């Protein structure tokens, strides 16, 4: 018999190694788009690039950047959701959590509004202002550019 809790850890590790799927949760603080759903793959946009999470993926934690989370179900059908920012984790037990500040189905993106907000933010950068104003405008630009790319199926 090992140290306290060791048996649970070994059980979780053995389940992780034999499991051929990923249990996925994609949610806002108040709304779940997926909740413990068994899927084939989850692709998440991170500061390090797009990470494809499959069964038996090494446990990982990362920071989301604005972009598209793609969840591929067991039949190979993809659901694409835009996320503004947040975190993701792939856990040793085969669960994957995507916790986002904002989530929007791709088909609900208003490209015209995104372009208007992009132009406004670009003007704010050119006009100067405080460092905080410039930082907020830069974030808006990053999100709006990602929204527009998402509408056109670009990564």
Does residue 49 sit in the same domain as residue 115? no
Does residue 100 sit in the same domain as residue 113? no
**Is 34 contained in some domain?**
yes
Residue 114 DSSP SS3: helix
Is the confidence at residue 20, as pLDDT, over 50? yes
Structural domain boundaries enclosing 128: 109-151
Q: What is the pLDDT of residue 54?
A: 86
The residues pairing with 98 across neighbouring beta strands, listed in sequence order, are 26, 88
Query: Other CB atoms closer than 10 Å to residue 26's CB: what's the count?
Result: 26
Does residue 76 sit in the same domain as residue 13? yes
Does residue 91 sit in the same domain as residue 25? yes
Does residue 77 sit in the same domain as residue 16? yes
Does residue 79 sit in the same domain as residue 128? no
Is the confidence at residue 12, as pLDDT, over 70? no
Pair 45, 69: CB distance under 8 Å:
yes
Domain count, the chain: 2
CA distances from 103 to 26, 32, 48, 68, 109 (A): 9, 10, 20, 9, 10
71-121 per-position pLDDT tens digit: 999 999 999 999 999 999 988 888 888 999 999 999 999 999 999 999 999
User: What's the CA gap between 98 and 144, in Å, rounded?
Assistant: 21
**Is 1 contained in some domain?**
no
Does residue 123 sit in the same domain as residue 92? no
Does residue 74 sit in the same domain as residue 120? no
24-63 per-position pLDDT tens digit: 777 766 678 888 888 899 999 999 999 998 888 888 999 9
Q: What is the pLDDT of residue 155?
A: 63
Q: What is the pLDDT of residue 2?
A: 41
pTM of the model: 0.79
User: What's the CA gap between 124 and 111, in Å, rounded?
Assistant: 20
Q: Which CATH number characterizes residue 52's domain?
A: 2.60.15.10
Does residue 87 sit in the same domain as residue 61? yes
């Amino acid at each position: 018999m090992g140290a306290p809790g060791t048996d649970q850890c070994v059980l979780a590790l053995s389940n992780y190694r034999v499991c051929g799927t990923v249990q996925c949760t994609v949610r806002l603080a108040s709304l779940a788009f997926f909740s413990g759903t068994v899927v084939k793959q989850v692709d998440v946009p991170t500061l390090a690039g797009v990470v494809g999470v499959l069964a038996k993926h090494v446990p990982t934690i990362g920071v989301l950047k604005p972009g598209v989370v793609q969840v591929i179900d067991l039949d190979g059908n993809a659901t694409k959701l835009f996320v503004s920012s947040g975190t993701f984790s792939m856990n040793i037990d085969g669960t994957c959590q995507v916790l986002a500040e904002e989530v929007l189905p791709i088909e609900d993106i208003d490209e015209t509004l995104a372009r208007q907000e992009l132009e406004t933010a670009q003007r704010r950068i050119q006009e100067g202002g405080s460092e905080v104003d410039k930082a907020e405008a830069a974030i808006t630009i990053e999100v709006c550019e990602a929204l527009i790319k998402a509408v056109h199926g670009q990564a």
